[in-house]
Structure 1
Amino acid sequence: MDQSNKAFSEALIKSLRGERGHLPIVNALSDIDAVLAGKRKEELPYSIYQLVKHMIYWQDFLLLFAKGEKPTLPSHVKESWPEEESPSSEEDWQQVIQHFLQGIEQACTIAQTVQLDKPLEKWPGETPGGVLRNIASHNSYHLGEIVLIRRLFSAWPPPTGGYPA
Protein backbone atom coordinates (compact mmCIF):
# COMPACT_ATOMS: atom_id res chain seq x y z
CA MET A 1 0.00 0.00 0.00
CA ASP A 2 1.54 3.30 -1.05
CA GLN A 3 1.84 6.22 1.38
CA SER A 4 -1.12 8.24 0.04
CA ASN A 5 -3.37 5.16 0.06
CA LYS A 6 -2.24 4.42 3.64
CA ALA A 7 -3.03 7.97 4.77
CA PHE A 8 -6.46 7.85 3.10
CA SER A 9 -7.09 4.43 4.66
CA GLU A 10 -6.32 5.75 8.14
CA ALA A 11 -8.55 8.81 7.63
CA LEU A 12 -11.41 6.62 6.35
CA ILE A 13 -11.15 4.30 9.35
CA LYS A 14 -11.35 7.24 11.75
CA SER A 15 -14.39 8.55 9.88
CA LEU A 16 -16.07 5.14 9.77
CA ARG A 17 -15.65 4.62 13.50
CA GLY A 18 -16.56 8.21 14.33
CA GLU A 19 -13.17 9.37 15.55
CA ARG A 20 -13.07 12.60 13.61
CA GLY A 21 -15.88 15.13 13.91
CA HIS A 22 -17.89 13.39 16.63
CA LEU A 23 -17.73 10.79 19.33
CA PRO A 24 -17.18 7.16 18.37
CA ILE A 25 -20.35 5.59 17.00
CA VAL A 26 -20.13 2.67 19.41
CA ASN A 27 -20.29 5.14 22.33
CA ALA A 28 -23.45 6.77 20.98
CA LEU A 29 -25.26 3.44 20.55
CA SER A 30 -23.99 0.95 23.11
CA ASP A 31 -26.14 2.07 26.05
CA ILE A 32 -29.42 2.42 24.13
CA ASP A 33 -31.91 -0.22 25.22
CA ALA A 34 -34.80 -1.63 23.18
CA VAL A 35 -37.32 0.69 24.84
CA LEU A 36 -35.41 3.85 23.93
CA ALA A 37 -34.64 2.45 20.47
CA GLY A 38 -38.36 2.19 19.73
CA LYS A 39 -39.56 5.46 21.27
CA ARG A 40 -41.25 7.96 18.96
CA LYS A 41 -42.69 11.42 19.26
CA GLU A 42 -45.35 12.55 16.84
CA GLU A 43 -43.08 15.17 15.28
CA LEU A 44 -40.27 12.66 14.63
CA PRO A 45 -40.36 10.79 11.33
CA TYR A 46 -38.70 7.68 12.79
CA SER A 47 -37.30 5.97 15.86
CA ILE A 48 -33.67 5.21 16.66
CA TYR A 49 -34.41 1.59 15.75
CA GLN A 50 -35.64 2.62 12.30
CA LEU A 51 -32.61 4.86 11.80
CA VAL A 52 -30.14 2.11 12.66
CA LYS A 53 -31.95 -0.41 10.45
CA HIS A 54 -31.85 2.13 7.59
CA MET A 55 -28.14 2.71 8.20
CA ILE A 56 -27.57 -1.07 8.09
CA TYR A 57 -29.49 -1.38 4.84
CA TRP A 58 -27.25 1.09 3.00
CA GLN A 59 -24.08 0.07 4.79
CA ASP A 60 -24.61 -3.56 3.74
CA PHE A 61 -25.54 -2.45 0.22
CA LEU A 62 -22.42 -0.32 -0.17
CA LEU A 63 -20.15 -2.95 1.40
CA LEU A 64 -21.17 -5.32 -1.39
CA PHE A 65 -20.01 -2.75 -3.95
CA ALA A 66 -16.76 -2.18 -2.06
CA LYS A 67 -16.16 -5.94 -2.22
CA GLY A 68 -16.61 -5.92 -6.01
CA GLU A 69 -20.18 -7.20 -6.11
CA LYS A 70 -23.22 -5.49 -7.64
CA PRO A 71 -26.29 -5.45 -5.40
CA THR A 72 -29.71 -4.69 -6.80
CA LEU A 73 -30.93 -1.18 -6.17
CA PRO A 74 -34.27 -0.97 -4.40
CA SER A 75 -37.10 0.25 -6.59
CA HIS A 76 -37.76 3.03 -4.06
CA VAL A 77 -35.80 4.44 -1.13
CA LYS A 78 -38.77 3.57 1.15
CA GLU A 79 -37.57 -0.03 0.95
CA SER A 80 -34.54 0.94 3.03
CA TRP A 81 -36.72 2.01 5.96
CA PRO A 82 -38.33 -0.61 8.21
CA GLU A 83 -42.02 -0.29 8.98
CA GLU A 84 -41.60 -1.58 12.53
CA GLU A 85 -40.83 1.25 14.91
CA SER A 86 -39.17 -0.84 17.59
CA PRO A 87 -37.23 -4.07 18.02
CA SER A 88 -39.17 -7.16 19.06
CA SER A 89 -36.96 -7.68 22.11
CA GLU A 90 -33.80 -6.55 23.83
CA GLU A 91 -31.99 -9.49 22.22
CA ASP A 92 -33.23 -8.41 18.77
CA TRP A 93 -31.99 -4.87 19.42
CA GLN A 94 -28.56 -6.06 20.56
CA GLN A 95 -28.27 -8.15 17.39
CA VAL A 96 -29.15 -5.09 15.28
CA ILE A 97 -26.42 -3.04 17.01
CA GLN A 98 -23.87 -5.86 16.61
CA HIS A 99 -24.71 -6.24 12.91
CA PHE A 100 -24.24 -2.51 12.39
CA LEU A 101 -20.92 -2.37 14.27
CA GLN A 102 -19.64 -5.49 12.47
CA GLY A 103 -20.39 -3.74 9.18
CA ILE A 104 -18.28 -0.78 10.27
CA GLU A 105 -15.42 -3.16 11.06
CA GLN A 106 -15.83 -4.84 7.66
CA ALA A 107 -15.54 -1.41 6.06
CA CYS A 108 -12.38 -0.73 8.10
CA THR A 109 -10.88 -4.04 6.97
CA ILE A 110 -11.60 -3.13 3.35
CA ALA A 111 -9.97 0.27 3.92
CA GLN A 112 -6.83 -1.49 5.15
CA THR A 113 -6.61 -4.18 2.49
CA VAL A 114 -7.63 -2.83 -0.91
CA GLN A 115 -6.32 -0.23 -3.30
CA LEU A 116 -8.75 2.54 -2.43
CA ASP A 117 -8.43 4.49 -5.67
CA LYS A 118 -8.84 1.56 -8.06
CA PRO A 119 -12.06 1.96 -10.10
CA LEU A 120 -14.80 -0.53 -9.27
CA GLU A 121 -15.60 -2.78 -12.20
CA LYS A 122 -19.30 -3.01 -11.31
CA TRP A 123 -19.74 0.68 -10.48
CA PRO A 124 -18.03 2.73 -13.19
CA GLY A 125 -16.70 6.03 -11.92
CA GLU A 126 -16.56 4.87 -8.30
CA THR A 127 -13.74 3.50 -6.14
CA PRO A 128 -13.64 1.49 -2.90
CA GLY A 129 -12.45 4.64 -1.13
CA GLY A 130 -15.41 6.60 -2.45
CA VAL A 131 -17.84 3.91 -1.36
CA LEU A 132 -16.34 3.76 2.13
CA ARG A 133 -16.46 7.55 2.38
CA ASN A 134 -20.14 7.35 1.44
CA ILE A 135 -20.75 4.84 4.25
CA ALA A 136 -18.95 7.09 6.74
CA SER A 137 -20.86 10.22 5.74
CA HIS A 138 -24.25 8.48 5.65
CA ASN A 139 -23.68 6.97 9.08
CA SER A 140 -22.42 10.30 10.44
CA TYR A 141 -25.49 12.11 9.12
CA HIS A 142 -27.88 9.70 10.81
CA LEU A 143 -25.80 9.51 13.98
CA GLY A 144 -26.52 13.22 14.41
CA GLU A 145 -30.22 12.42 14.24
CA ILE A 146 -29.81 9.66 16.82
CA VAL A 147 -28.05 12.09 19.17
CA LEU A 148 -30.86 14.62 18.72
CA ILE A 149 -33.53 11.96 19.41
CA ARG A 150 -31.63 10.90 22.52
CA ARG A 151 -31.57 14.53 23.67
CA LEU A 152 -35.33 14.85 23.10
CA PHE A 153 -35.87 11.84 25.37
CA SER A 154 -33.38 13.11 28.00
CA ALA A 155 -31.11 10.15 27.23
CA TRP A 156 -27.97 12.12 26.47
CA PRO A 157 -25.05 12.02 27.06
CA PRO A 158 -24.13 8.35 27.12
CA PRO A 159 -22.07 7.07 30.08
CA THR A 160 -18.89 7.52 27.99
CA GLY A 161 -19.60 11.24 27.59
CA GLY A 162 -21.15 13.25 24.80
CA TYR A 163 -18.09 14.72 23.16
CA PRO A 164 -15.05 13.30 21.41
CA ALA A 165 -12.25 12.26 23.74
Structure 2
Amino acid sequence: MNEEQKKSLLIKELGDLLSKGNAHVTFEEAVKDISLDKLMLTPENLPYNIFQLAEHIRIAQWDIVEFCLNPNHVSPQWPEGYWISSDDMVSKQAWDHILHQIKRDRDRFIQFLKTTDTDLFEPLPQGSGQNLFKEALLIADHTAYHIGEIILIRRLLKIWN
Protein backbone atom coordinates (compact mmCIF):
# COMPACT_ATOMS: atom_id res chain seq x y z
CA MET A 1 0.00 0.00 0.00
CA ASN A 2 1.49 3.35 -1.01
CA GLU A 3 1.30 6.57 1.01
CA GLU A 4 -1.68 7.94 -0.95
CA GLN A 5 -3.64 4.72 -0.37
CA LYS A 6 -2.77 4.84 3.35
CA LYS A 7 -3.96 8.45 3.58
CA SER A 8 -7.18 7.58 1.74
CA LEU A 9 -7.83 4.63 4.06
CA LEU A 10 -7.11 6.74 7.14
CA ILE A 11 -9.51 9.46 5.99
CA LYS A 12 -12.19 6.85 5.25
CA GLU A 13 -11.78 5.38 8.74
CA LEU A 14 -11.96 8.85 10.33
CA GLY A 15 -15.10 9.60 8.33
CA ASP A 16 -16.65 6.33 9.48
CA LEU A 17 -15.66 7.06 13.09
CA LEU A 18 -17.36 10.46 12.88
CA SER A 19 -20.52 9.36 11.10
CA LYS A 20 -21.16 5.73 12.01
CA GLY A 21 -21.77 4.11 15.35
CA ASN A 22 -19.19 1.35 15.11
CA ALA A 23 -19.20 0.24 18.78
CA HIS A 24 -22.19 2.39 19.77
CA VAL A 25 -25.27 4.01 18.30
CA THR A 26 -24.94 7.10 16.15
CA PHE A 27 -26.01 10.54 17.31
CA GLU A 28 -28.99 10.33 14.95
CA GLU A 29 -30.07 6.99 16.46
CA ALA A 30 -29.63 8.34 20.00
CA VAL A 31 -31.97 11.28 19.42
CA LYS A 32 -34.48 9.62 17.10
CA ASP A 33 -38.18 9.93 17.89
CA ILE A 34 -37.95 11.95 21.10
CA SER A 35 -40.95 14.15 21.74
CA LEU A 36 -40.26 17.82 22.42
CA ASP A 37 -41.54 17.61 25.98
CA LYS A 38 -39.08 14.79 26.79
CA LEU A 39 -36.13 16.78 25.42
CA MET A 40 -36.46 19.26 28.27
CA LEU A 41 -36.81 16.77 31.14
CA THR A 42 -33.77 16.67 33.41
CA PRO A 43 -33.70 13.52 35.53
CA GLU A 44 -33.11 14.00 39.25
CA ASN A 45 -29.47 14.52 40.21
CA LEU A 46 -28.34 15.05 36.62
CA PRO A 47 -27.16 18.47 35.43
CA TYR A 48 -28.45 18.39 31.84
CA ASN A 49 -31.35 17.36 29.67
CA ILE A 50 -31.19 15.90 26.15
CA PHE A 51 -31.80 19.27 24.51
CA GLN A 52 -28.88 20.84 26.38
CA LEU A 53 -26.59 17.91 25.56
CA ALA A 54 -27.43 18.00 21.86
CA GLU A 55 -26.89 21.77 21.74
CA HIS A 56 -23.56 21.31 23.54
CA ILE A 57 -22.51 18.70 20.97
CA ARG A 58 -23.51 21.11 18.20
CA ILE A 59 -21.58 24.06 19.64
CA ALA A 60 -18.43 22.06 20.44
CA GLN A 61 -18.35 20.31 17.06
CA TRP A 62 -19.00 23.61 15.23
CA ASP A 63 -16.16 25.24 17.19
CA ILE A 64 -13.69 22.46 16.35
CA VAL A 65 -14.67 22.41 12.67
CA GLU A 66 -14.42 26.20 12.39
CA PHE A 67 -11.07 26.16 14.21
CA CYS A 68 -9.73 23.68 11.65
CA LEU A 69 -11.15 25.40 8.56
CA ASN A 70 -10.84 29.07 9.52
CA PRO A 71 -7.55 30.40 10.91
CA ASN A 72 -9.37 33.54 12.14
CA HIS A 73 -12.05 31.67 14.09
CA VAL A 74 -12.63 32.82 17.66
CA SER A 75 -13.96 30.15 20.01
CA PRO A 76 -16.77 30.84 22.47
CA GLN A 77 -15.87 31.61 26.07
CA TRP A 78 -15.45 28.45 28.18
CA PRO A 79 -17.64 27.10 29.70
CA GLU A 80 -20.59 29.46 29.30
CA GLY A 81 -20.30 29.65 25.51
CA TYR A 82 -20.67 25.89 25.16
CA TRP A 83 -23.74 25.29 27.31
CA ILE A 84 -27.26 26.70 27.17
CA SER A 85 -29.38 27.38 30.22
CA SER A 86 -31.90 24.81 31.35
CA ASP A 87 -34.40 27.67 31.16
CA ASP A 88 -34.05 27.87 27.36
CA MET A 89 -37.15 26.36 25.81
CA VAL A 90 -37.07 23.94 22.94
CA SER A 91 -39.10 24.43 19.81
CA LYS A 92 -39.43 22.16 16.80
CA GLN A 93 -37.51 24.75 14.78
CA ALA A 94 -34.66 24.95 17.32
CA TRP A 95 -34.45 21.15 17.60
CA ASP A 96 -34.41 20.72 13.83
CA HIS A 97 -31.68 23.37 13.58
CA ILE A 98 -29.50 21.51 16.08
CA LEU A 99 -29.93 18.20 14.28
CA HIS A 100 -29.30 19.77 10.88
CA GLN A 101 -26.20 21.69 11.95
CA ILE A 102 -24.62 18.70 13.69
CA LYS A 103 -24.92 16.69 10.48
CA ARG A 104 -23.89 19.61 8.27
CA ASP A 105 -20.76 20.45 10.28
CA ARG A 106 -19.78 16.79 10.54
CA ASP A 107 -20.19 16.40 6.77
CA ARG A 108 -18.23 19.62 6.15
CA PHE A 109 -15.36 18.34 8.27
CA ILE A 110 -15.30 14.93 6.59
CA GLN A 111 -15.38 16.60 3.16
CA PHE A 112 -12.53 18.87 4.22
CA LEU A 113 -10.48 15.84 5.31
CA LYS A 114 -11.10 14.25 1.91
CA THR A 115 -10.15 17.32 -0.14
CA THR A 116 -7.44 19.14 1.81
CA ASP A 117 -3.78 18.91 0.95
CA THR A 118 -2.95 19.57 4.60
CA ASP A 119 -1.00 16.77 6.26
CA LEU A 120 -3.30 15.23 8.88
CA PHE A 121 -0.47 15.19 11.42
CA GLU A 122 1.00 18.63 10.71
CA PRO A 123 0.26 21.15 13.49
CA LEU A 124 -2.31 23.71 12.38
CA PRO A 125 -0.77 27.18 12.15
CA GLN A 126 -3.65 28.74 14.13
CA GLY A 127 -3.29 26.28 17.00
CA SER A 128 -0.94 25.26 19.76
CA GLY A 129 0.00 21.84 18.43
CA GLN A 130 -3.41 20.59 17.26
CA ASN A 131 -3.60 18.74 13.96
CA LEU A 132 -6.50 17.51 11.83
CA PHE A 133 -6.11 13.91 13.00
CA LYS A 134 -6.27 14.94 16.66
CA GLU A 135 -9.26 17.22 16.04
CA ALA A 136 -11.14 14.43 14.21
CA LEU A 137 -10.57 12.15 17.20
CA LEU A 138 -11.66 14.94 19.55
CA ILE A 139 -14.96 15.40 17.71
CA ALA A 140 -15.61 11.64 17.74
CA ASP A 141 -14.62 11.17 21.39
CA HIS A 142 -16.56 14.18 22.66
CA THR A 143 -19.69 13.26 20.71
CA ALA A 144 -19.56 9.60 21.80
CA TYR A 145 -19.25 10.64 25.45
CA HIS A 146 -22.38 12.78 25.25
CA ILE A 147 -24.27 10.19 23.17
CA GLY A 148 -23.77 7.89 26.16
CA GLU A 149 -25.30 10.52 28.42
CA ILE A 150 -28.25 10.95 26.06
CA ILE A 151 -28.88 7.19 26.09
CA LEU A 152 -28.65 7.15 29.90
CA ILE A 153 -31.21 9.96 30.17
CA ARG A 154 -33.48 8.19 27.70
CA ARG A 155 -33.27 5.03 29.83
CA LEU A 156 -34.06 6.99 32.99
CA LEU A 157 -37.05 8.57 31.22
CA LYS A 158 -38.08 5.12 29.94
CA ILE A 159 -37.93 6.23 26.31
CA TRP A 160 -35.15 3.91 25.14
CA ASN A 161 -35.66 0.38 23.85
The TM-score, its normalising length taken from structure 1, stands at 0.85
**Of 114, 126, 131, the match for 1:122:** 126
Correspondence for 1:47:
49
Which 10-residue stretch deviates more, 137-146 or 84-93?
A: 84-93
Correspondence for 2:90:
88
Taking a change above 3 Å as real, the CA distance of residues 31 and 69 of structure 1, as seen in their structure-2 partners, is farther
**Of 99, 107, 114, the match for 2:101:** 99
The Cα offsets for residues 30-86 of structure 1, whole Å up to 9 and x where unpaired, read as 322321211112311000100011111111110012214243244431321101455
Mapping of residues 135-150 of structure 1, within 5 Å: 135-150=139-154
Mapping of residues 1-165 of structure 1, within 5 Å: 2-85=4-87, 87-114=89-116, 115=118, 116-157=120-161
Taking a change above 3 Å as real, the CA distance of residues 90 and 75 of structure 1, as seen in their structure-2 partners, is closer
Whether the aligned pair in 1 keeps the contact of 2:19 and 2:26 (CA below 8 Å) is yes
How far is the alpha carbon of 1:102 from its aligned partner? 1.4
**Alignment identity in percent?**
25
SS of residue in 2 equivalent to 1:2: helix
Q: What letter is aligned with 1:69?
A: P
> Structure 2, unaligned stretches of length 5 or more?
none
2:49 and 2:111 mapped to 1: Cα distance?
30
